[in-house]
Every structure is written in structure tokens, then in C-alpha cells.
Amino acid sequence: MRANFSEIMESIQGEGLLVGTRQIFLRFAGCNLRCSYCDTAWSLSETAECRFYPKTGNRNPIQYIKNPIGIMQVAELIKNFSSLWISFTGGEPLLCADYIRELALILRPKGYKFLLESNGTLCEQLAVCISYLDMISMDFKLPSATGRNLWEEHRCFLLRAREKPGYVKIVITAKSSCQELDRAVGIINGIDKSIPLILQPAAPYGSVHAPLMEDVLKMQEIAMKSLDDVRVIPQVHRLINLI
Ligand code: SF4
């Protein structure tokens, strides 16, 4: 079995509940969405080569690995990294749900644990591999970010995802509104109010502007009225200049 990757590397996890944890990132190529704040545009489509960074946290040196890449080749590429946490990220990793299941089956006996970082829209594909995951990071995409209403896709995904430990993350930009945040919170609350919610202020990128912190705090207060655990966490790896 083979899959297309845009990057393979080791760094610290810069987002969500596992922030600061050393992880190996398998960044799949290809995505079913086009978010305004996407900061991995090079991962939206399949490419001929995957960039492999053998030095932890560093974009230099780079090795170029021909796509698609087989499961045993991935195991070989990551064997010298020290982390036993693997993040399936992208792009949208669930476009390769069968591959994730097979890779996790082969690597689990070596002691690896698996985090899925997903855009939270492909609940049928989640069912293919959920039993092999240790934690799920689900993005909740607000209409202001995608130009689409994904409420039902997110509800379906979260209903399945809650059988594993995890959290929901919402990226807040200058265009995010309290009304759409409130609707997202209502969906999470309707499923399980103890699911942690991370509000992640967007970093300025292209035409995307960072939100005012007073607006982010207001959104946190709105969410705290319905949910037990609402945290504001920026992208930490960017603050300390790691990939
Ligand atoms: S889901 Fe993720 S990878 Fe896909 S466009 Fe949105 S931010 Fe980018």
C-alpha cells in the first residue's frame, strides 16, 4: 500500500492539547477543503516528491523522496527519530484512511502512539481507522474560513471521534464571528460538554489577518458558558521558530 506525502519530519507539536510533545509528522498530500487560513498550501495536492527533514525541528538539510511512499519505507525513514508519537496530518490524512490503518497496525508493536489531525469532515473514513488511533484532533471549520457550511459533517465526525480521547480546535481569524462560534459550540455541547475546545488565534498569513485578542477572549467567554474546558492556545512552534 502506498500514499502521497508532502513532508515527513520530527519536531514539537505546536497545537492543541499535546502542545510541546515531541512528535513525528507524516503530512499527507491532498485535501478536500480550501480554508482561507491554510498555512500548508504545498500539501493540498499530490506532488511527485515528499520533503524529508532528517534533522529534528529543522528544514535543513532536505531529502526528496519519490511519491507514492510505501509503509515499510515510512518505517525506515522515521526509525532514527526519538519520538514515539506519530501525527497523521496534512492536507487531510483521512483521504488515506486505509493506509493509516495499515501503517498503525505495523508500527504499533514498536511502541508508537498515533494522533490524527483532521479537518473533521470525513466521518466514514474516520470509522476505517479510528480503532488504531490514540488521540484525535478535530478542526471545526467556521463558514467564514471555508465559504461552506460544514455543520452536519462536523456533527457526524464528532459523534464518532468521541470514542477516543481528543479535542476540537477552532482557528479564529479577524473574520470569525461570535455567531458562528456560538453555533459550533452548540454542536459540541449537544454531543459532550466535556470535550476540550481549543481556540487558536490565526497567525497573519497572506490575506488572513490575526484576530484582536479582545475578540478571542469574548469568544472564549461565549464558549465557557456551555463547555467545561475552553483554552486559547496559539501555534507554539511558530513562536520559537521550529518547523
Ligand atoms: S483542511 Fe487543513 S490542509 Fe485543508 S485547506 Fe484547510 S487548513 Fe489547509
CATH placement of domain 2-239: 3.20.20.70
Q: What is the mean pLDDT of the chain?
A: 96
Residue 167 has pLDDT above 90, yes or no: yes
Structural domain boundaries in the chain: 2-239
Residue 240 has pLDDT above 90, yes or no: no
Residue 44 has pLDDT above 90, yes or no: yes
Question: Mind giving me the DSSP string for the chain?
Answer: -EE-EEEEEEEE--SSTTTT-EEEEEEES--S---TT-S-GGGSS--SEEEE--STT---S-EEEESSEEHHHHHHHHTT----EEEEESS-GGGGHHHHHHHHHHHGGGT-EEEEEE-S--HHHHHHHGGG-SEEEEE---HHHHSS--HHHHHHHHHHHTTSSEEEEEEE-TT--HHHHHHHHHHHHHH-TTS-EEEEEPPPBTTB-PPPHHHHHHHHHHHHTT-S-EEE---HHHHTT--
Q: Does residue 119 have its Cβ closer than 6 Å to ligand 1?
A: yes
Q: Does residue 38 have its Cβ closer than 6 Å to ligand 1?
A: yes
Distance 36 CA to ligand 1 centre (A): 8
Percent of the chain residues topping a pLDDT of 70: 100
pLDDT tier, 243 (very low <50, low <70, confident <90, very high otherwise): confident
